[in-house]
Chain A
Amino acid sequence: MPTKNIAGLDVEVDEEGYLVDHTVWNQDIAAALAQEEGIDELTDRHLMVINFMRKEFEEKGTGPSIRRLTKESGVPTKELYQLFPGGPAKKAARIAGIKKPHGCI
């Protein structure tokens, strides 16, 4: 696995740039990854989504479906797509430092 310097820290990432180990993640890494995804500033609403994804990942070993995400994170579908334009599940997962989601829903 390649190593990449993100926010001053050398971390392992997979071929698509997702963190290999979600426990090395911190807010600075999130901010740096967000910049790469074209999101200049992570707001409280972004963080609500990201924190929910991390919690789900820690409990279940996989990120949530968009349906669960919108039903349980408190961020509705429309807003989710505005917060993470061009692919919310993948972008949010990458910024949250978890593995790329593999669900179809």
Chain B
Amino acid sequence: MSESIKKVSIICAHGGLDEVYPALILANGARMEGIEASIFFTFFGLNAIMKKTISKLKVATVGNPSLNLAMPMLGLPVTMPFPTWLGGIPGVSGFATGLMKKEMEKLDIPPVDEFLEMIHDAGGEIYACKLAMDMFKLTREDLIEPVDGILTVGEFYEKSAGATVLFT
């Protein structure tokens, strides 16, 4: 049998609701299996750990050609493309996000803030990227409490020693 994974280091660089969840689910799932886990939020991924934006993440309805998968939630065929012109109308992204959140709640998937607390309490580590923080003029005060630290790329690699690195 091949050796099992002992540690994962997950990089989350995008802040769309659908872009953040894979990182959270992978990290939490790792902890559930007794695997060490950390998530490194960088660039637009920082939206997921900022107090002001954590509860406002959205699903992109413009330039998202894969949204057909969500069409059955509206009672429409799964092969029907979601029209880009419709996605640009104010409120549509919010509506699609609400619809998706409802489906996730049914599956017992927690909201992002609760999920991050859960991962943190489970021993998962949550980090922010220093360069992206500097670029967006953010400080520790802007971030939610469970964040364990702000790391440079070098420090990220140090912490990731022996880990499988995943880019979501």
Residues of A within 8 A of B (CB): 65-68, 70, 76-78, 81, 85-90, 103-105
The residues of B that contact A66 with a CB separation of less than 8 Å are: 28, 32, 118, 122
The residue of chain A having its C-beta at the shortest distance from the C-beta of B123 within the complex is: A81
Q: A66-B28, A77-B117 are in contact. List 8 more A-B contacts (CB 8 A).
A: A66-B118, A78-B121, A81-B121, A87-B33, A103-B108, A105-B28, A105-B29, A105-B109
A85 lies within 8 A of B25 (CB): no
The residues of B that contact A65 with a CB separation of less than 8 Å are: 108
B7 at the interface (CB under 8 A from A): no
The residues of A that contact B34 with a CB separation of less than 8 Å are: 85-87
B118 lies within 8 A of A88 (CB): no
B121 lies within 8 A of A105 (CB): no
CB distance from B124 to the nearest CB of A (A): 10
CB distance from A102 to the nearest CB of B (A): 12
CB distance from B23 to the nearest CB of A (A): 13
B16 at the interface (CB under 8 A from A): no
Q: Mark B1-44, 1 if CB is under 8 A from A, else 0.
A: 00000000000000000000000010011011110000000000
Q: Mark B82-103, 1 if CB is under 8 A from A, else 0.
A: 0000000000000000000000
